[in-house]
């Protein structure tokens, strides 16, 4: 029983019930939609901000390293000595705005895939430089190891 029905006098009766028009909901639904989109946008923004600020990608003289995560940390590492192939994944939009992924195949089933990197072609070039530098160091070490060693006791 509604308030009006409860407040009727004993001989009083309702002749017509007025109904609110659905247009009244437009403002409410519009506000809910806008605030919902805004709230979802804020959540997505902060999730991406956390990912961007906690992700590290580096090439060292020995390894390729990727670290992600704030609370739960995930690392992916690949020794440079096990690198077999390096490729860049970049669609036309990525070429236009200079971003893409690097995929590095190592010995066996090892695959190292980067997140979207800025200037992936430059990163691949730097990785190839590190690989060639490693080869040069290996050749130098091999030459050094091949030289006969003088025994200080017989000198």
113-152 pLDDT, tens digit each: 999 999 999 999 999 999 988 767 666 666 666 666 666 6
Pick the CATH number of 55-143 from 2.30.29.30, 3.30.565.10, 3.30.1600.10, 1.10.275.10: 2.30.29.30
Give the burial string for 54-64 (b: 16+ CB within 10 Å, else e).
eeeeebeeeeb
Q: What per-residue confidence (pLDDT) applies to 21?
A: 84
77-121: per-residue pLDDT in tens? 898 999 999 999 999 999 999 999 999 999 988 898 999 999 999
Q: What is the pLDDT of residue 47?
A: 92
- pLDDT at residue 150 in the model: 63
Tokens for 19? Answer: 């109904």
Residue 70 to residues 49, 56, 64, 144, Cα–Cα distance (Å): 11, 11, 20, 45
Reported pTM: 0.67
Please give the average per-residue pLDDT across 18-34, as a whole number. Answer: 87
The vertex-78 CA angle with 137 and 101, nearest 5°, equals 110
CA distances from 71 to 16, 55, 89 (A): 62, 12, 29
Q: Where are the beta strands (DSSP E) in the chain?
A: 56-59, 63-68, 74-79, 83-89, 99-106, 111-113, 117-118
pLDDT, averaged across the chain: 87
């Amino acid at each position: 029983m509604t308030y009006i029905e409860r407040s009727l006098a004993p001989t009083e009766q309702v002749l017509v019930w007025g109904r609110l028009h659905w247009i009244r909901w437009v403002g409410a639904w519009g506000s809910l939609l806008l605030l919902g989109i805004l709230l979802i946008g804020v959540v997505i923004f902060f999730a991406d901000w956390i990912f961007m600020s906690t992700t590290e990608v580096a090439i060292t003289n020995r390894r390729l390293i990727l670290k992600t995560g704030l609370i739960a940390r995930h690392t992916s590492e690949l020794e440079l000595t096990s690198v077999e192939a390096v490729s860049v994944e970049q669609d036309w939009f990525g070429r236009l705005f200079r971003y893409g992924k690097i995929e590095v195949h190592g010995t066996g089933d090892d695959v190292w895939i980067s997140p979207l990197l800025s200037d992936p072609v430059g990163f691949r070039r730097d990785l190839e430089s590190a690989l060639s530098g490693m080869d040069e160091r290996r050749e130098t070490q091999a030459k050094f190891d091949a030289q006969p060693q003088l025994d200080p006791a017989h000198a």
